[in-house]
Amino acid sequence: MSLEERELRRLRAKEWRENNKERLSEYNKKYAKANSERLSEKARLNRLKNKERQDAKHKEWLAKNPDNKRNGDLLRQYGINLNDYHKMLEEQKHLCKICKGPPTGKGVLHVDHCHETGSVRGLLCNKCNIGLGHFNDSKELLQKALDYLTVNR
């Protein structure tokens, strides 16, 4: 087959695909459903084969899209997006909701949430966030600590 014939065949196939998008989509869905195990294994092997290249591409994407990563993390962990986070920052005047101080640690305020209900309570500096964590978000333990500090001045 000559180069011209191959190019003509390629153009015809491209034109057919463009004119039959719905039909092709339906075929691809049926094929994927019928061959899901084989395709999953093929994808797994491809990831293993190209792990270093894929990791490098992923790191490059993360470096170029830090807000997308942060947005995805916030949505996955707390059910809020980056806009919600920034709105909370503004409402708290970029200060910790407990101590009213600026961010500590890495310079960001951490999302505080109830571990029982999952609801977001506010943004905390690193110290306050860790402090609550050490008290297991227990009001009783925090009250005992407050009583202790009051008695033992």
In the chain, where the domains are located: 3-49, 65-151
Q: What is the pLDDT of residues 2-40, one digit of tens each?
A: 889 999 999 999 999 999 999 999 999 999 999 999 999
Provide the phi-psi class of 80: left if phi over 0, else alpha when psi is between -120 and 50, else beta: beta
Looking at residue 103, the DSSP 8-state letter turns out to be P
Q: Are 105 and 126 in contact (CB under 8 A)?
A: yes
* The pLDDT of residue 74: 93
Residues of the chain with pLDDT under 70: none
* The pLDDT of residue 141: 93
* The pLDDT of residue 104: 84
* The pLDDT of residue 66: 85
* The pLDDT of residue 150: 92
Distance in angstroms (rounded) separating the CA atoms of residues 45 and 106: 38
45 three-state secondary structure: helix
Topology of the domain covering 65-151: His-Me finger endonuclease fold (3.40.1800)
* The pLDDT of residue 106: 82
Q: Model pTM?
A: 0.60
Q: Which residues contact 138 (CB under 8 A, 6 or more apart)?
A: none
* The pLDDT of residue 107: 85
